[in-house]
Amino acid sequence: MFRLFENLVDPYTEYPEEDHPPQTLWPFFLGYSQPFKKVFALTAFMSILVAGIEVGLIYYMGRIVDVLDQGPEQMWAKHGTELIIVGLLIVFLRPILQVLDVALINNAILPNFGTLIRWRAHRQVLRQSVGWFENDFAGRIANRIMQTPPAAGEVVFQAFDALSFSLAYLIGAAILLTTADPRLLLPLAIWFAVYLLLSRWTIRRVGPASKAASDARSAVTGRVVDAYTNIHSVKMFAHHDREELYAKEAIEEARRTFQQEQRIFTTMDFSLVMLNGLLIVGVVGWALALWLQGAASVGTVAAAATLTLRLNSMTAWIMWALSSFFRQLGVVAEGMETIAQPVKLVDAPNAQPLKLVDGRIEMSQLSHHYGRKSGGLNAIDLTIEPGQKIGLIGRSGAGKSTLIKLLLRFYDAEAGVIKIDGQDISTVTQDSLRRQIGMVQQDSALLHRSVLENISYGRPDATKAEVIEAARQAEAHEFIQELQDPEGRTGYASRVGERGVKLSGGQRQRITLARVILKDAPILLLDEATSALDSEVEAAIQTTLYGMMEGKTVIAIAHRLSTIAQMDRILVLDEGQIVEDGDHETLLSSGGLYAQFWARQSGGFLQMEDENT
């Protein structure tokens, strides 16, 4: 039975991806709810039906009190069959309807609805550009992805388990009291009007208060994760106290906002107790007055008393459900600030895969300043012939990394065009572009997975033998065989820790090299590819590096000029422009910036700052 309900909705069903998701709450929420429309409708019907049965039971208890006046023999003779039928319905039919209602909520909706939101939100965030991630805390993004689905699930749960049930119950109660005596409806109507005012007061305050508290919790997560992610820096600079204070500020703000939120609930609870006291006195007192006048039966008084006591116990639950409903909507709204952000860097309409033939790269009037007036690149014109090896040097901020990021289309250029084999990279699919480019970065961060998975990330369909061969070429096979993680996994099965922290910088770099060797892309980007290697290991893999470059178009950024001296061309960037272009000997003889850098090298490294700075 459980499986039947659990499979009513597939949370991974296909759906159209949106570059510009709805920016307001209800359209956003309704968009995610589309696969559940039929299940939601059935659940609402069942909630109303179950509420109607509960009110009917109270009515029938009052009826039993009235028929008891007829005496045992006469009562059984007239109503025995009726009592047996009602008893059987209560024992058998009522539990079946109740379990259908509960199963729809607990088994069909809650697990699948949260899963659907988490899955789609994660996919949406993964589509964002590198620049988007660089402008936020990874911890805060992850926190919002994780807290939004359960909050949305709670909204749906309260809508069906509490709100629709209570509304149906209230309508049923009004009908029951009207049937007994229309005058009994007056105190209920007055109570309900005041209850609505109290609900409105609570809801208007709890939504913003909940969002503020949720924002504050996300800030705590962001700051704490930031410290954990950079724990080496924290320890190295002995800044425990600084990080404690930095986190304490956010934690205290989270406490303050939570206090404000809870003050609303305390005020609500006190007001509700007072209001419910008036309800009990009003309805039951009026029913007694009617009985004293002979205008109401004992059963009517009993039903009215039972109904008001039931409403008294329900009202706190309903108000809490309402508060929870809007509080969780506040959490969803906070999550929307991440999940519903437009995806700005997208494939062009009808974008086609890149058809790489030779690997010729052309840049024309290429400019990018990250929205600022300075920095980045300024009107670059550059052509790299197929198979040509380019060395790229320059001071910090000269634009080297910007050029690489634009070639990978991590950003869209503010001006100018990049073409590969005559195809504007803004008109081809991003995935096809990046599949044709292999890159080794200075920051060789790895995934918290096995060594095998990290290397095969370059080509997931590679065999283990191919992975091992790539590791051998990167001088990584020997140390990989000696690895063992805390869970006892060894060799290629051992896990490397978050961002590869369990390995040395040189070991991480060699695994990164193995991954790019395995990928074997026709365009190769090297950003300080050997910076983390000691001289002995670097010398051992130099042959591998030059072998990787064979037949490929290569752009290599280096501070150690000896690593690019053998390149076909060396470009010197300064203040976002190419100021020198030539081979090693030509640039040395010209006496320009390259010659100055070469002369000022210390231990083979480029001194990146000007002498006068």
Domain membership flag for residue 367: yes
Among 315, 339, 363, where does a domain finish? Answer: 339
- Could you tell me which of 555, 546, 563, 572 has the C-alpha nearest to residue 385? 555
Domain membership flag for residue 519: no
Average pLDDT, the chain: 84
3-state SS assignment for residue 136: coil
Task: Give the pLDDT score at 610.
Answer: 42
State the CATH number of the domain containing residue 272: 1.20.1560.10
Task: Give the pLDDT score at 602.
Answer: 47
User: Residue 120: which pLDDT band, with cuts at 50, 70 and 90?
Assistant: very high
Give the contacts of 314 (CB within 8 A, at least 6 positions apart).
166, 169
Task: Give the pLDDT score at 355.
Answer: 94
Domain membership flag for residue 485: no
Domain membership flag for residue 555: no
* Most confident listed range (241-255, 439-453, 522-536): 241-255
pLDDT in tens, 529-546: 666 566 666 666 676 777
Asked whether residue 558 carries a pLDDT value surpassing 90, the answer given is no
Burial class (CB in 10 A: 0-12, 13-18, 19+), 482: exposed
Number of domains in the chain: 2
CA dist 121 and 332 (Å) reads 12
CA dist 31 and 35 (Å) reads 9
- Could you tell me which of 12, 41, 40, 8 has the C-alpha nearest to residue 107? 8
- Could you tell me which of 549, 354, 323, 530 has the C-alpha nearest to residue 436? 354
CA angle 580, 582, 586 (to 5 degrees): 105
Does residue 31 share a domain with residue 150? yes
Task: Give the pLDDT score at 609.
Answer: 45
Does residue 265 share a domain with residue 361? no
Strand partners, 437: 523
Among 321, 339, 357, where does a domain finish? Answer: 339
Does residue 145 share a domain with residue 111? yes
Asked whether residue 433 carries a pLDDT value surpassing 90, the answer given is yes
Amino acid at 364: S
Percent of the chain clearing pLDDT 70 (strictly above): 94
Q: What is the mean pLDDT of residues 455-476?
A: 92
Does residue 429 share a domain with residue 316? no
Percent of the chain clearing pLDDT 90 (strictly above): 32
Cβ atoms of 524 and 544 closer than 8 Å: no
Give the contacts of 212 (CB within 8 A, at least 6 positions apart).
257, 260, 261
Domain membership flag for residue 240: yes
Domain membership flag for residue 588: yes
- Sign for the CA dihedral angle at 178, 182, 185, 187 comes to negative
Q: What is the mean pLDDT of residues 228-236?
A: 79
Does residue 225 share a domain with residue 132? yes
User: Residue 509: which pLDDT band, with cuts at 50, 70 and 90?
Assistant: confident
User: Residue 297: which pLDDT band, with cuts at 50, 70 and 90?
Assistant: confident
User: Residue 604: which pLDDT band, with cuts at 50, 70 and 90?
Assistant: very low
Domain membership flag for residue 446: no
DSSP string, 377-406: EEEEEEEE-TT-EEEEEESTTSSHHHHHHH
State the CATH number of the domain containing residue 571: 3.40.50.300
Does residue 124 share a domain with residue 47? yes
Asked whether residue 152 carries a pLDDT value surpassing 70, the answer given is yes
Task: Give the pLDDT score at 534.
Answer: 63
CA dist 526 and 545 (Å) reads 10
Q: With helix as H, strand as E and coil as C, how does 223-258 read? A: HHHHHHHCHHHHHHCCCHHHHHHHHHHHHHHHHHHH
Task: Give the pLDDT score at 608.
Answer: 46
Asked whether residue 416 carries a pLDDT value surpassing 50, the answer given is yes
Asked whether residue 345 carries a pLDDT value surpassing 80, the answer given is yes
Domain membership flag for residue 467: no
Task: Give the pLDDT score at 546.
Answer: 76
Does residue 362 share a domain with residue 329? no
Does residue 403 share a domain with residue 359? yes
Higher pLDDT, 498 or 269: 269
CA dist 538 and 267 (Å) reads 69
Place of tokens 């969803």: 332
Task: Give the pLDDT score at 164.
Answer: 78
Does residue 356 share a domain with residue 321? no
Does residue 376 share a domain with residue 271? no
Q: Give the strands of the sheet with 523-527, arranged side by side.
A: 437-440, 523-527, 553-557, 389-394, 569-574, 577-582
Task: Give the pLDDT score at 419.
Answer: 96
State the residue range of the domain holding 394: 348-436+561-608
pLDDT in tens, 8-49: 999 999 999 888 888 888 888 888 899 999 999 999 899 888
pLDDT in tens, 254-286: 999 999 988 888 888 888 888 878 878 888 887
Among 306, 339, 372, where does a domain finish? Answer: 339
Does residue 429 share a domain with residue 292? no
DSSP secondary structure code for residue 105 in this structure: I
Torsions phi, psi for 135 (to 5 deg):
-100, 10
Does residue 424 share a domain with residue 382? yes
CA dihedral 314, 319, 320, 323 (to 10 degrees): 160
